[in-house]
Structure 1
Amino acid sequence: MINFKLKNIDEIIPAGQDPNQTLSWFWLTDGELWLDFKNDIIYEYSDEAIHYFGSKSTSYNDYYLVRFIEDFTEIFGKISENILERFYTLTEDLKKFKTESKNWLDIHDIDENENTDFYFDEYYKLVSWIDERKLSSGHLIGGPNLFFFRRNDKIKIIWETEYILENGISLWTAKDGFCEMNYHDFVNEIKLFGENFFNKMDEQIALALSKDFKNIQIDKQRLVEEHKERKEDFWSAFTMLTQESNIKTNWTGIEQIYNSIKKEIR
């Protein structure tokens, strides 16, 4: 499901300008990333986009993998939490739900006689269960958004990938879509990724320790320490996927707001 390829250590571009170039654990995670969901590959650039950019050496997301890991692990606690069956059903047409909610806010936003702050607060409470389960790619031009919704032993993954460049070219190969899978299979895929990634980073660190970087500044002792810390942080976050979530969403409050909106927009 989660695929990656680290760059060769000799191909990694250090931070800064000569003679003040530096390397750290962050930079050593430079590589390619793509997610494979059956017939859809997320983070794969279209042939037209690759031709347009010209200098791209890969068809996949080419960035520091640590950014993906940090953003993804941050929402593990929310991913592990069950959502109400009613809201899980709403994910069948997530765009419709988000559009209706935004339209409701817009109606009240233009009424000068109303307390719009109240409606903003209600709106953000209403969509919070979506935003808290979103993996965004704000560091990428037209970066995809992925959403993860668990209901007991199944999880639905929804992606928004359709982005058109100014010249009319579709940036990504994948269209907006979703897949549903067994939750424990999903967790095992995350585990497999973690094992593979840190095994490869073990090799990357070993190479860095043995390499003469000449004028490039690198704190090799700190490199070893941070590698250990990053590994511990990942597996600590991973346990949130395997245990009952201690995060408790106020589903009653969200449902009350949703019921109120449904009455207004009938």
Structure 2
Amino acid sequence: MINFKLKELDKISPWGQEPELSLHWFGLTDGDLWLTFGNETIYEYTKEAIDLWGNQSPYNDYPLSRFIEDFTELFDKIREPIPEAFYNLSTDLKKFQSRTKKWLDKHYTDKDNGNDFYFDVYDTLISWVHARTLSSSHLNYGPQLSFFRYNNKVRVVWDTEHRLKNGTPVWTAKSGSVEMEYTGFVQKIKSFGQSFFAEMGEQIRLAVEKDWGKVELDKQWLVEEHEGRIDEFYFSLALLEQEAEYRTDWAGIKKLFDRMTNEI
């Protein structure tokens, strides 16, 4: 499900400008990332996008630490089962988002309560989606992935319908979704973590042995940070197997949803 390939040390560019060049754990996680769900590959650029931007890789070419940090931040929300009615809405997330946008436009034209409506009503209604969405905003036309759990099922929904100015798709994957067992989903994340930190352990070993010349690298701190990152990941992973502490106000959201349904 989660695939990656770390860059070789000699192909990783130091941060900063000469003579102040440096490297750190984040920078050493530089590499390719792509996700596979069925026949779709998320984070894979089309040939047209690669040619336009001169990409060296067809995949998400960025320090993998960013993905791990952003993804694990969602775990507390992902582990919370959502009501069946809202889980069913996630089968056609675009329809739900289109309806909420229509409702927003209906009320936002009122200059007296437009801002209040946006923050107190609209934002609250869509909060259950945003809280479970990985935005990839650091990428050009970054896709969005949302994760919704219901009992021992989880639905992953991705939006990749981004196009270049000439109308060509940015990503090879079409927007879609997949449903899988929640326990299997957690196991796939665990397998990724095991592989990633094992390979990063070797990356760190080689980085400590290497003479970096004018590039500043605190090797002792590098080793210590690596151990800390492992602990952080597995602490976050454990949340997925625990009962949720985060409690969404589903009754309040349902009330707003019913109000929207009556008004549009």
Instruction: Give the TM-score normalised by structure 2.
Output: 0.97
Percent identity, aligned pairs only?
A: 51
2:189 matched to 1:190?
yes
User: Does 2:94 align with 1:95?
Assistant: yes
Could you tell me which residue of structure 2 aligns to residue 85 of structure 1?
A: 84
1:164-195 residue CA offsets vs partner (Å, 9 max, x unmatched): 11232211100110000010000000000000
Q: State the partner residue of 1:117.
A: 115
- Residues in 2 aligned to 1:185 and 1:153: alpha-carbon distance in whole angstroms: 9
Is residue 2:248 matched to residue 1:249?
yes
* Structure 1 position 28, deviation (Å): 0.2
Helix, strand or coil at the partner of 1:96: helix
Deviation at 1:96, TM superposition (A): 1.0
Aligned to 1:242, what secondary structure does the other structure show? coil
Equivalent in the alignment of 2:218: 219
Pairing 1:226-241 to 2, within 5 Å after superposition: 226-241=225-240
**Structure 2 partner of 1:43:** 43
Mapping 1:105-144, distance limit 5 Å: 105-112=104-111, 114-120=112-118, 121-144=120-143
Structure 1 match to 2:26? 26
* Whole-Å separation in 1 of the counterparts to 2:24 and 2:133: 28
For 2:16, the equivalent position in structure 1 comes to 16
CA distance in 2, matches of 1:162, 1:29: 28
TM superposition shift of 1:118: 3.3
Match of 1:175 in 2: 174
2:17 partner SS: coil
2:157 is aligned to 158
Structure 1: which 5+ runs fail to align?
Answer: none
